[in-house]
Amino acid sequence: MPILSSNYRTILLLSIAALFQTGDAAAFGLMQAFDAALQNDPAYRAAMHEHAAGQQFKIIGRSHLLPTLSFTYTTNQNAQDFTTQSTSGFRQYQSETEVLQFRQPLFNLDSFARYKQGFAQTSQSDAKFSERSQELIVRIVGTYADAKNAEDQLALAIAQLNVYTEQRQMNNRMFEKGEGTKTDMLETQSRFDLAEAQVIEARDHLANMRNVLATISGMEVTALDSLSDDFRVRPMHPTGFDEWKTIALDGNPEITAQRHAVEIARQEINRQRAGHAPRVDIVAGVNRQKSDIPIMVGLDFLTRSIGVQVNLPLYNGGNISALTSQAVANHEKAKAELDAKIDQVLIELRKQYNLALSSTLRIHALTNSVSSANFLVEAMQKSVQRGVRNNLDTLQAQQQLFTAKRDLTLARYNYLVSYLRLRKAAGTIAVGDLQDIASYFVASQ
């Protein structure tokens, strides 16, 4: 009766797990996931809007150097009591004022600093958006690889459970014939129970990974393309770390964005210092006044003027000096943050470079490990039949094979992600690299 209960539980467990494996549903390809993420990923959509807003900085900065044109209209109802030497009286009248003014800066250090600052802010926005775009590529590949690896781990766990199921049935038959032992049955049952728990854990992990991918792509994920059996590590190009370092220092968007932050802070110093400098504008205007002067009620004036206006600040309580000192401190802070960002990027670059170099050897070693483990399982099974080896030796060989396959699968996915992360750290990652990674996957049949 307990055996029947255990068999029923196994069948139910495998049936549930099968729902998470690739079936008749159309597989969700890597490029399809990326295209969907471009439309649906909340973080990327936020980056797009932030970038669109950032494009306005250069227009705002340029506007400080361009002329301004304004029109002012004022109308009033006036009630006036007046007294002369001989008379006094009261009257009501309407007055109007219309002013059209044109102003063009000739010399304005504040406006020029704002102009250069605006272009630096837009350039910084471009660099940040480039970094977010590259980050999306790495994120979608990493999430896709995690989900696919979870699929593979579930398949391996199910295969392991099936092996232990067959081993348990064989132990039972041998025990009934008097050729097996109770110890063999207990050993196999122990491994079988552990395999059942691993299937449940793998199933839950797969569900979580699919949910993460669905959140980024905005699409339901039921099956993913399979990793090609013909897996080959691409040769490193360029080969030397110093070349990668040069590329990263020139092209990494995070470093570029921080360099623009330094420029923005430098222009802020110039802008604050401009508070001590004179401002010179060309001012032209047309001024129409109707009954605007109390002693000239009923008279209209139309005045046209053009000239130069000079504004020279003299003293404002130390405000400009304090703001300038503050801007200088912020500039030094920005430069220190640039140095920190460079160090951070180079550490990540070295890490991914080393991972890429070791991937070839690791994948090659694990491939050999899987082959050796397969041969070991076959040899153990034959040895058990001849009475040379026991049941525990077979179970250990099967566990070794399962572990080798799991490690090889994980190493392959880690290589694909590190391949992209190396290029992201260097600032060279593009959609073409994503297409290269997609070529490692094939549509499930």
Residue-wise pLDDT tens digits, 89-107: 887 888 899 999 999 999 9
Q: In the block, which residue shows the tokens 């600052």?
A: 117
Domain range 2-31+122-273+336-442, its CATH number among 1.20.1600.10, 3.30.980.10, 3.40.50.300, 1.10.10.10: 1.20.1600.10
What pLDDT score does 186 carry?
86
Rounded to whole angstroms, the Cα distance separating 159 from 198 reads: 11
For the chain, give the mean pLDDT. Answer: 88
State CA 152 to chain mean position distance. Answer: 26
From the CB of residue 422, how many other CB atoms can be counted at a distance below 10 Å? 25
What pLDDT score does 379 carry?
85
Backbone angles phi, psi at 317, to 5 degrees: 80, 15
Q: What is the C-alpha end-to-end distance of the chain, expressed in Å?
A: 40
Rounded to whole angstroms, the Cα distance separating 266 from 221 reads: 49
Q: Which residues of the chain have pLDDT under 50?
A: 1-4, 8, 12, 16, 22-24
What pLDDT score does 2 carry?
45
What pLDDT score does 167 carry?
79
Residues 111 and 37: beta-carbon distance below 8 Å: no
Q: How far, in Å, are 147, 294, 378 from residue 286 at the CA level? A: 71, 21, 101
What pLDDT score does 3 carry?
44
Nearest CA to 155 out of 199, 102, 98 is that of: 199
| pLDDT tens-digit map of 195-213 | 899 999 999 999 999 999 9
| pLDDT tens-digit map of 292-326 | 777 777 788 899 999 999 999 998 889 999 999 99
What pLDDT score does 263 carry?
97
pTM: 0.84
What pLDDT score does 10 carry?
54
Amino acid at 179: E
Residues 247 and 426: beta-carbon distance below 8 Å: yes
What pLDDT score does 6 carry?
56
